[in-house]
Structure 1
Amino acid sequence: MTELCFVSAEGGSAFMEELLEVVADAVRTAGGKARTAIGKYPEAGGDTVYVVVPHEYFVVVPDGDFPTAEQCRRTIGFCVEHPGTATFERNAELLSILGGAVDINTDSTAELRRRGIAVEHFQLGYSPLWDLWGGDLDSPRDLDVTYLGTAERRRSVLLGSYARDLAGLRTRLLTPPHEPMTGARVDFLPGKAKFEHLARSRFLLNLHREQKQTLEWVRTLEAMTNGCVVVSETSADVEPLVPGEHLVLARPEALGSVVAALADEPERERHLRSAAYGFVKSLDMTASARRLIDLAASLGSAPAADIAPARALASSLRNPENALAVDTPSFDARFAGRPGVRRVG
């Protein structure tokens, strides 16, 4: 049986590491063999296929640990970025050296296929590794509103505009810079700490990054799995979620007032929480995990690609300022002193 080895870059994002662990767990649940590793590709036989998040792994891994052409041929790219972002473009370039690819978003799957890149859609769903809530609708929640998203100018301006609407609500906004977060910090919560935070929060505000218009699926599923009601700016690619039943969509300028209104409708809030959790529990990743297993088993005969261009691209993106960083002040730096905005925790 082909073994899938999910590899995260040492010094890379804890978020990506967590996501690959969830997918590895789904593969094991589907009857496949899977393990996780950090750093350089571990030595393995010809029956092992590697899985990496290309736009991060190949940029963060040192030149000396860059996989060989043969290893790249036995690598599947696990894609998470949307069209309209710089990281999506980087990802699309790097896929040319890999044996295969899957993508968690329907819009990026379609765009990659339009560009002639073979990719399969991987539908994320419920994972017990995310669930620290358990569906208890009567469990206490001591935070009214939270936000978990990297900082950029548009997001920061919008968050600042909600100050008046959020006045009086217990609010915690976490806006780290757009760079790999390797561990807990004041503006970033990894793993269990993040899920515990979502399980004690009533509402999650969600805003898009850069020019993208599609829903942030991982963040949405993590929140719903822990009973946190998602209030997002209008999004494409939400199916099979039903707006108004599983989450609330609104114009970005109106999100503050929408959350404030929902906070005064406990029965509506309770219904959204229950319906969203039931929906997520119904999303089984087994079928997608089996497709990933089948894709891994098929990577046996294709010739190895020339990895020199990918090496050059990755090397050019490694710089002292960090290729994944965005030079944008955080919400806290720009808006912490505004009236009506309070930090909790």
Structure 2
Amino acid sequence: MRQVQVEDESAPVHLRRVIVYATANANLFIRELGELVVAGFTELGFEAALLLDQKPGLPGDDLLQIVLTPHEYYNLCLLESVSPREAREVTRNVVLLCTEQPDTSWFRQNLRWACYARAVADINAVGVRAYRQLGIRTHHLELGFHEILASRVQQPLLERQVDITFLGSLTPRRDLFFSRHASFFSKYNCHLRFVPLGFAKTESSRSYLSTGERNALLANSRILLNLHYSGQRYFEWHRMLLGFANGCCVISETSVGFGPLIPNRHFVMVEKDELIDACRFYLEHPSECSRIAGAGHDFVRDSLRQSHGCRKFLLDLTRDETSNFDMQPADFGDDPAPADLPLALAKSLKQAARGDLWKALGSDLRKMLSRSEMTMAHPSPEMPSILTKSLSQARSGVIEERAAYHQRLQEQASRRKRGEKVWTLHENAAFSDSLAPQISVIITLYNYEQFIEGCAESIGR
């Protein structure tokens, strides 16, 4: 019998078996997550298995039952064979392992069953925080490395044939980014695979690579590019681990929940508008590219195994069930501060930001001159002096606003380098007292004053 000693507890957890339930009708990568979690528990010495399209059994002291991705399992499997009432009873014996981003309908569908479960877990700290804010006991089951993620044959980075690979669903945000930068990607050998939303991707889906094909592709790719699904800075752990496991240099848009990985040491992390410059730099500096790829691969292989995440989850679950559970929202304090980017890249990004500032200034001046030309079409006797004064005031206002913007930009860069947050959230008493606020109102402080009145009126309607 496998015994996992709980910190500060004298009694061990007498677990022997772990069963993960999923449906064969789910997305292929969900089943891969199930196989990864099972591999982690197996490495700890448990009898672990992934069962497809089966109903959880009776509880037992030596048994842990996990339902993977509840919204798919219940809708595509369990409710096909049992009533909602029986499904609720079954749920009391299982841990629901969730995988969806908080801004999606799939996340909200999981809430239907979460209140009945023995416990809830999520693979991402962002998801854990969102569930806890809704008053749901939730734990973090961290994903990690296992050999099943890696291709058996991996080319040295400098000998790889694919310069940049992107794998992800097609969303408007991603569509706009790649269309804007099509000329850049056309200069390199890229594999950009966009998967449509709206249906489960299985082995038969033509837009989806099989596990072996995908791992072989990544093992022959220099850079794995990560652009978020939406505006949430959600770190896509499964995709990132595949990149690390197959020796890619991972370049990601700025994220949260990536700890214990260190940005710019184990992977490259920059803002969305800086991704192209970062890709160009690392393709033109293969030694730097190899350094990042090697550091990421070695770290997850040696220090971030899936078995580590499974063991920590068991300790947290046992502590929850033997003492008062801390319902404080999860924070991202475990995210390490980014390491410094290579000096040449940091300088290039700074120059690009300064160039964007001058472009914005030019745009403001063109708009100002356009308004002036309209005024000139209907002159008045006082126009010369009024126009001169107006132009001077407008120019001064633009310069002051852009100087303030540049100052804030520099302060943000300095804070980000120190690992500090670059924004502050102010919550009123009503928001703080509510477990699930239904309406959020964001009022911007610059350049959108003409919309605020309409925004406020829409709330009343």
TM-score, normalised with respect to structure 2: 0.60
Answer with 86-95 or 97-106: which moved more. 86-95
Matches within 5 A, 1:66-145: 66=82, 68-132=87-151, 137=156, 140-145=159-164
Q: Secondary structure at the match of 1:194?
A: helix
1:49-97: CA deviations, max 9, x gaps?
4312213212222633346444211211112223223222222333112
> What amino acid is the match of 2:142?
Q
Report the counterpart of residue 3 of structure 1 in structure 2: 17
Report the counterpart of residue 305 of structure 2 in structure 1: 284
Q: Secondary structure at the match of 2:159?
A: coil
Report the counterpart of residue 208 of structure 1 in structure 2: 228
Contact kept? 1:133, 1:227, Cα under 8 Å: no
Find the partner of 1:272 among 279, 285, 292: 292
Find the partner of 1:153 among 172, 185, 191: 172
Report the counterpart of residue 276 of structure 2 in structure 1: 256
> What amino acid is the match of 1:54?
P
After superposition, the Cα gap between the structure-2 partners of 1:298 and 1:76, relative to the gap in structure 1 and judged at 3 Å, is: farther
Hey, what's the Cα distance between the residues in 2 that align with 1:287 and 1:224?
17
Hey, what's the Cα distance between the residues in 1 that align with 2:203 and 2:146?
22
Contact kept? 2:39, 2:306, Cα under 8 Å: no
Cα deviation for residue 153 of structure 1 reads 1.0
Find the partner of 1:41 among 55, 72, 89: 55
Report the counterpart of residue 248 of structure 2 in structure 1: 228
Hey, what's the Cα distance between the residues in 1 that align with 2:63 and 2:319?
12
After superposition, the Cα gap between the structure-2 partners of 1:107 and 1:63, relative to the gap in structure 1 and judged at 3 Å, is: closer
Cα deviation for residue 275 of structure 1 reads 0.6
Cα deviation for residue 273 of structure 1 reads 0.7
> What amino acid is the match of 1:113?
R
Hey, what's the Cα distance between the residues in 1 that align with 2:87 and 2:113?
14
Contact kept? 1:135, 1:274, Cα under 8 Å: no
The answer to whether 1:217 aligns with 2:217 is no
Cα deviation for residue 17 of structure 1 reads 0.3
Cα deviation for residue 43 of structure 1 reads 5.3
TM-score, normalised with respect to structure 1: 0.79
Answer with 215-224 or 116-125: which moved more. 116-125
Find the partner of 2:71 among 44, 55, 58: 55
Identity %: 26
Q: Which has the higher contact order (CA 8 A, sep 6+)?
A: 1
1:296-343: CA deviations, max 9, x gaps?
889999xxxxxxxxxxxxxxxxxxxxxxxxxxxxxxxxxxxxxxxxxx
Report the counterpart of residue 245 of structure 1 in structure 2: 265
Q: Which has the larger radius of gyration?
A: 2
After superposition, the Cα gap between the structure-2 partners of 1:45 and 1:246, relative to the gap in structure 1 and judged at 3 Å, is: closer
Hey, what's the Cα distance between the residues in 1 that align with 2:317 and 2:80?
26
Cα deviation for residue 139 of structure 1 reads 7.3
Q: Secondary structure at the match of 1:57?
A: helix
> What amino acid is the match of 1:245?
R
Hey, what's the Cα distance between the residues in 1 that align with 2:255 and 2:98?
19
Cα deviation for residue 214 of structure 1 reads 1.8
Answer with 36-45 or 109-118: which moved more. 36-45
Q: Secondary structure at the match of 1:227?
A: coil
Hey, what's the Cα distance between the residues in 2 that align with 1:48 and 1:299?
17
Contact kept? 2:266, 2:292, Cα under 8 Å: yes
Contact kept? 1:79, 1:103, Cα under 8 Å: yes
Is there any run of 5+ residues in structure 2 with no aligned partner, and where?
1-14, 323-461
Contact kept? 2:94, 2:117, Cα under 8 Å: yes
Q: Size of the alignment, in residue pairs?
A: 301
Cα deviation for residue 117 of structure 1 reads 0.9
| RMSD (Å), alpha carbons | 2.6
